[in-house]
Amino acid sequence: MFKIVKAEFLAQDIKLFQIEAPRIAKKRKAGQFVIIRLDEHGERIPLTIADSDPEKGTITIVVQGVGKTTKALNLKETGDTIMDVVGPLGEPSHIEKFGTAVSIGGGVGTAIAYPTAKALKEAGNYVITINGARSKDLVILEEEMKQVSDEAYITTDDGSYGFHGFVTQKLQALIDEGKKLDFVLAIGPIPMMKAVADVTRPYGIKTVVSLNPIMVDGTGMCGGCRVIVNGQSKFACVDGPEFDAHGVDFHNLADRNKMYSVYEKEALEKFEHECKLDKKIEAIENAG
């Protein structure tokens, strides 16, 4: 059992958790992830480690409630427990002094990009961060990002805060200004990562993406997370999750991530139905 020592919402449906996991906290490096299982009937899902405190023995994860498991997790509060947390998994981000490094985070991807942006800064890079959200109320980790950036930009799709437009438009604008970019890291939804790869490709800017395929064990024993990179099949859990963006077959990744969408919907509907029932029972009990 792994204890949650802090739980707080960063934005609607996006929650930060600090979890007691001293061994993982001590060992983890930027870019690595954990697999968690909430309870006896739970599934195993991968979540990137956004931060850690080896002294306190905690790791931080940031979770967006999109399906059954993430929504159930986001109901957890300080003091609750998670049955299984295993990690650190995956290869750490490859960090070196590239020169000017751009970290791009889309939505909850901002939290995943954070540790790598921090590591890039510590390695002596000039760090530019671009973090995108649909609207102002969904912007997360703005302060944290500023602290690890030489230049920090927020973009919103609706223009309610920061730059009006997509992260790729901001990236293109930087290139058009004549900034010499040496390295780009992009983490977020598949269409966003693909769009970033398309922007940097003609300029030959080294670009890395952190892929998010479906995983089961996360230790290389099933190949459920296989992705095609430069025409070759790779296991994202052990060979990645970071890969050369210009070699990734995003189309295949997008198709594969839809494999269980029918089941995901069914599980979520059942969960939400049960939540409603629980609330009704609670209301009756309180009234009684």
Partner 1 sequence: MNQLTPKERMKIPRHSMIEQDPAERSRNFSEVNLGYTPELAIEEAQRCLQCPKPTCVAGCPVNIQIKDFITLIAEGDFIGAVKKIKEDNALPAICGRVCPQEEQCEEACVVGKRGEPVAIGYLERFVADYERESGKIDVPEVKVSNGKKVAIVGSGPAGLSCAKDLREKGYEVTVFEALHELGGVLVYGIPEFRLPKEIVRTEIDGLKRMGVKFETDAIIGRVFTVDELMEEEGYDAVFLGVGAGLPWFLGIEGENLNGVYSANEFLTRVNLMKAYQFPEYDSPILDCHNKNVAVFGGGNTAMDAVRTSLRLGAKNAYIVYRRSEKEMPARVEEIKHAKEEGVQFMLLTNPVRLIGDDEGWLKGMELIKMELGEPDESGRRRPIPIEGSNFTVDIDVAVIAIGNGPNPLVTQTTPEIETSRRGTIVVDPETMKTSKKGVFAGGDIVTGGATVILAMGAGRKAAAAIDHYLQNGAW
Question: Using CB under 8 A as the criterion, which residues of the chain lie in contact with partner 1 when the complex forms?
Answer: 23-24, 27, 37, 41-44, 68-69, 83-89, 216-217, 219-224, 226-228, 233, 238, 251-252, 255-256, 258-260, 263-264, 266-267, 270
Q: Which is nearer to partner 1, 78 or 261 (CB)?
A: 261
H or E, element range at 156: strand 151-156
Task: Give which of 127, 130, 195 is closest to 156, Cα–Cα.
Answer: 130
E-state strands within 159-237 = 163-164, 183-187, 206-210, 226-229, 232-235
Residue 148 among known ligand-binding residues: no
- The packing angle between helices 190-200 and 250-257, to 10°, is 180
Largest CA distance in the chain: 69
Residue 62 among known ligand-binding residues: yes
Q: How far is the CB of 257 from partner 1 (least distance, A)?
A: 10
Query: Using CA atoms, how far apart are residues 193 and 191, in angstroms rounded to an integer?
Result: 6
Residue count (the chain): 288
Q: Which is nearer to partner 1, 163 or 260 (CB)?
A: 260
CB 99 within 8 A of CB 180: yes
Residue 222 among known ligand-binding residues: yes
Q: How far is the CB of 224 from partner 1 (least distance, A)?
A: 5
Amino acid identity at 239: D
Q: Which is nearer to partner 1, 43 or 157 (CB)?
A: 43
Q: Which is nearer to partner 1, 76 or 206 (CB)?
A: 76
Bridge-based pairing of strands 206-210 and 226-229 is unpaired
Q: How far is the CB of 150 from partner 1 (least distance, A)?
A: 33
Q: How far is the CB of 278 from partner 1 (least distance, A)?
A: 17
H or E, element range at 92: none
Residue 225 among known ligand-binding residues: yes
Q: How far is the CB of 8 from partner 1 (least distance, A)?
A: 25
Q: How far is the CB of 186 from partner 1 (least distance, A)?
A: 22
Task: Give which of 71, 82, 9 is closest to 268, Cα–Cα.
Answer: 71
The residues near 203 (Cβ < 8 Å, ≥ 6 apart) are 175, 181
Q: Which is nearer to partner 1, 84 or 151 (CB)?
A: 84
CB 188 within 8 A of CB 107: yes
> Structure tokens of 249?
């077959």
In the numeric block, the tokens 């707080």 are attached to 8
Q: Which is nearer to partner 1, 73 or 209 (CB)?
A: 73
Q: Which is nearer to partner 1, 165 or 223 (CB)?
A: 223
Q: How far is the CB of 182 from partner 1 (least distance, A)?
A: 29
Q: Binding site for FAD: which residues? A: 62-64
Q: Binding site for [2Fe-2S] cluster: which residues? A: 222, 225, 237
